[in-house]
């Protein structure tokens, strides 16, 4: 289980990575870095944690090709950079690190994606969190509205008490990138469940219609594929307050993936699934049968959509019967629909008819 590590533990873990490379060279072998395979073929369900984690498959990145040798060199630069931040009591964003790498010569990153991936690689290998590495994401956290009270430590180090309904404007409470206990504490709430919503348009519709008050729930805007902090705060709220989470997304293959990353863990971050995933969350819609049942305006599946659906069929996270049925149904119908297509029946249809019906079916 990923846990916060002390400074010393973090440094030792990083040095182990360096040591692997060094020792190989001394032995007259090409330097290497060993890490788990990060594809859907190497994730398995961890019954104890209730989420998907990386399996035993290991990949050895060795310096026999230019690409992986450069990766190793970059890893060394990143480790050096992290150590210097730890020593200086600084932190940086991943994007800043990407720009700082400009000065690393041969070890420089070609794209931001590369630096993000490498930070994740190091998390996986060292079993540390990027917070331990003093690296922050650029990503924008979610926003939240509902009768929840929490306290957040501001940059002056003072605790601020915030009610996510009464103390915020229409845009809601902005979730910071760090949502760990040192930054946020949950105080009290008066809601029955949390509803995570994919699009801003739908979030605003529910806010305007007063859905959170009518149905005693908290609304959370995911902003597409949710950031780590968004998934982490959902996880904490559902665990610490024992609240059910329902997820309301578009009805397309990509939304299915968003749900999987919320409920079961994302493939990319399977090393910390237990820390980010909310296994108790439920997919509310749009389902493939909703498209038919509500006769929603829809678009034909594109070639890429179909490829994605087929890939999902063999994804262990979608192995259960309900998902197989949904995916196959979507492939059969050949259609996808957006959340906001519900507006076909008027602006209030979603809050007055669709959601109440769906929530009732879930027993909420």
Partner 1 sequence: MSIAEKMAANQKQVAISEFFEKNKHFLGFDTLNRALITAVKEAVDNALDACEEARILPDIIVKISKLDNKKDILQVEVEDNGPGIPRASIAKVFGQLLFGSRFHAIRQSRGQQGIGITGVVMYSQLTTGDPTHVESKIAKEATAVSVDIGLDTRKNKAIKSNQDRIDWGEKVHGLRIRTTMKAKYQRGRQSVWQYLRMTSIVNPHADILFIDPDGEKHHWQRVTERLPGRVEAIKPHPKGIELGQLQRLCSESTESRMTTFLRRTFSGVSQRAAKELCEVSELEEKLKPKSLSAQQVRALLEAFQGERQLKGKSVKLLNPPTSCLSPIEELLIKKGLSKTIDSKFVTTMTRAPSVAQGNPFQVEVGLIFGEGMTADKPVEILRFANRVPLMYQQGGCLLTKAIESVDWRQYGLDQAGGRGVPKGPAAILVHLASTNVQFTSEAKEALSDNETVMEEARKAMLEMGRGLRKHLEKQKKMGKTKEKFELINDIIPAIAEKSASLLELPVPDLAASITKIMSAVIAETTTTWNKATKQTDVHITLYNYTSRARSYTMLVNWPERQGASMVNNNLGGRKEAMGVWAWKLETLQPGVQTVISYSLADLEKGDWNETDVFYRGSQEVIGATKMDEKLLEEIRRQEEALNAPLPEDDEPLDVNESSDDESVDESEPNAPPSDTMQTTLFGGDY
Binding site residues, partner 1, CB under 8 A: 15, 18-19, 21-22, 24-26, 28-31, 63-66, 69-70, 72-73, 76-77, 79-80, 83, 105-107
Q: Which two tokens stand for residue 239?
A: 């665990």
Query: What is the enclosing helix (H) or strand (E) of 62?
Result: strand 58-62
State both tokens at 192: 């029955």
Closer CB to partner 1, residue 24 or residue 127?
24
**Other C-beta atoms lying within 10 Å of the C-beta of residue 224:** 14
Sort 111 into a burial class: Cβ within 10 Å, 0-12 / 13-18 / 19+: exposed
How far apart are CB 215 and partner 1 at their closest, in Å? 53
Contact status, residue 206 vs residue 219, Cβ threshold 8 Å:
yes
Q: How far is the CB of 26 from partner 1 (least distance, A)?
A: 5
Task: Select 21 or 337, whichever has its Cβ closest to partner 1.
Answer: 21
Burial code of 187-221, b = ≥16 C-beta within 10 A, e = fewer? eebebebbbbbbbeebbbbbbebebbeebebbbbb
Query: Token digits for 93?
Result: 């964003």
Residue 340 to residues 223, 260, 282, Cα–Cα distance (Å): 15, 21, 20
Provide the 10 A C-beta neighbour count for residue 301.
19
Compute the least distance from the CB of residue 103 to partner 1, in Å.
14
> Which of residues 15 and 153 has its CB atom nearest to partner 1 in the complex?
15
Query: Minimum Å distance from CB 21 to partner 1?
Result: 5
CB of residue 37 to partner 1, shortest distance in Å: 23
CA–CA distance from 26 to each of 20, 22, 31, 130, 344 (Å)? 10, 6, 9, 30, 69
**Closest CB to partner 1 among residues 76, 119:** 76
Token pair of 243 as six digits: 């609240």
> Which one from 52, 54, 98, 99 is the annotated catalytic residue?
99
Cβ-based nearer residue to partner 1, 73 or 207: 73
99 as an active site residue: the answer is yes
**Which residues are catalytic, by number?**
99
């Amino acid at each position: 289980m990923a846990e916060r590590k002390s400074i010393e533990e973090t440094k030792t873990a990083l040095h182990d990575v360096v040591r692997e490379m060094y020792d190989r060279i001394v032995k007259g072998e090409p330097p290497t870095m060993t890490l788990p395979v990060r594809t859907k073929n190497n994730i398995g369900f961890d019954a104890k944690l209730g989420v998907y984690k990386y399996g035993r498959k290991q990949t050895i990145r060795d310096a026999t090709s230019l690409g992986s040798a450069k990766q190793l060199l970059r890893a060394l630069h990143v480790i050096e950079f992290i150590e210097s931040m730890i020593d200086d009591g600084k932190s940086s964003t991943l994007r800043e690190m990407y720009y700082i790498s400009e000065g690393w010569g041969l070890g420089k990153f070609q794209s931001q994606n590369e630096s993000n991936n490498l930070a994740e690689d190091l998390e996986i290998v060292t079993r540390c969190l990027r917070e331990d590495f003093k690296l922050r994401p650029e990503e924008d956290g979610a926003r939240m509205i509902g009768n929840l009270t929490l306290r957040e430590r501001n940059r002056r180090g003072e605790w601020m008490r915030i009610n996510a309904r009464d103390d915020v404007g229409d845009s809601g409470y902005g979730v910071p990138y760090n949502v760990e206990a040192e930054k946020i504490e949950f105080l009290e709430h008066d809601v029955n469940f949390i509803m995570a919503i994919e699009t801003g348009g739908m979030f605003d519709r529910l806010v305007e219609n007063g859905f959170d008050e009518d149905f005693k729930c908290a609304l959370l805007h995911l902003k597409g594929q949710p950031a780590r902090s968004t998934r982490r705060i959902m996880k904490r709220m559902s665990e610490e307050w024992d609240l059910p989470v329902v997820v309301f997304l578009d009805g397309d293959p990509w939304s299915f993936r968003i749900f999987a990353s919320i409920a079961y863990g994302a493939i990319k971050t399977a090393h910390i699934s237990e820390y980010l995933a909310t296994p108790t969350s439920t997919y509310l819609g749009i389902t493939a049968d909703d498209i038919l049942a509500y006769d929603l305006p829809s678009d034909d599946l594109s070639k890429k959509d179909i490829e994605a659906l087929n890939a999902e069929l063999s994804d262990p996270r979608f192995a259960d019967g309900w998902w197989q049925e949904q995916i196959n149904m979507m492939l059969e119908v050949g259609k996808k629909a957006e959340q906001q297509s519900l507006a076909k029946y008027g602006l209030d249809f979603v809050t007055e008819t669709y959601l109440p019906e769906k929530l009732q079916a879930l027993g909420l």
